[in-house]
Structure 1
């Protein structure tokens, strides 16, 4: 059995790598609200899902089109951070989309929770009728706070 220092080192490496390539809806919301330069959120779902609702400011680029269209939709270069999302935690579409961007050389993260948790945490989303918002689901976000403070 490895000693404690070795186990901790492996754990530190593991979690640092996860944070390097994953983000959550609260952090994405904060980055969008702050107007973080070079921050591009990509909805990798199909056209019907996009029309049902999407994150404000997101660009629509279904996973199957990333290889062919990424350069025309998402600027490349230093300082560009792509964040992909799909439906929710039961879907690996954002993972597949992030992989496609990574293959093209983009700095990319996957947004954990997807569109589902964006809506469930009470953030505004865009629909064909305009912006909409639902009350925060107390199982995913504190009822009276801005964030979970984690």
Structure 2
């Protein structure tokens, strides 16, 4: 038989079995999350504004990169990340990794490897899947491509 949910009475709360943190603890936690993560909109806005301090890295295979990637992103598959493959990267910049989406941990693996190699790094939540869902353009082929600048029309490709 199913359990009956008693709302508004003295029933024991499953949710509150682990009490909520204090507001100060919550603020610290959510601030920490913002240090580690970015969403597609944040990345797109910085690419459109031509922010020079960030570099977006597609951590998927070369074939998937060529099939479609964030305009302006460079491709370095996480499996190939090491001292040699990252030697040309500027350590003063912040790197934003992404992969296919929430079912893929390639961006996490890439971010971990970059951090271990001494780079500042964030992970783009939702990967290319959320990028596309948000309506941002996708570049194809081996070329990096370029995100349309602020004020330029963005073609969605769904003519």
Q: Normalising by structure 2, what TM-score? A: 0.74
| Counterparts of 1:12 and 1:61, CA distance in 2 | 34
Name the residue aligned to 1:133: 156
Matches within 5 A, 1:1-150: 7-68=22-83, 69-72=85-88, 74-77=89-92, 80-128=93-141, 133-134=156-157
Which structure carries more relative contact order (alpha carbon 8 Å, separation 6+)? 2
| Counterparts of 2:59 and 2:87, CA distance in 1 | 15
Larger radius of gyration: 2
Give unpaired runs (5+ residues) of structure 2. Answer: 1-16, 146-154
| Counterparts of 2:103 and 2:86, CA distance in 1 | 25
Runs of 4+ in structure 1 off by over 6 angstroms are: 129-132
Where 1:57 maps in the other structure, the secondary structure is: coil
Where 2:82 maps in the other structure, the secondary structure is: helix
Name the residue aligned to 1:142: none
Name the structure where helix makes up a greater proportion of residues. 1
Where 2:86 maps in the other structure, the secondary structure is: helix
| Counterparts of 2:157 and 2:130, CA distance in 1 | 11
Name the structure where strand makes up a greater proportion of residues. 1
Q: Normalising by structure 1, what TM-score? A: 0.78
| Counterparts of 2:73 and 2:52, CA distance in 1 | 14
| Counterparts of 1:122 and 1:116, CA distance in 2 | 10
| Counterparts of 2:99 and 2:45, CA distance in 1 | 19
CA RMSD of aligned residues (A): 2.4
Question: Residue by residue, what CA displacement relative to the aligned partner does 1:7-64 show, whole Å, maximum 9, x if unpaired?
Answer: 1121111111100010000000000000101210000000111111001111000001
| Counterparts of 2:86 and 2:156, CA distance in 1 | 29
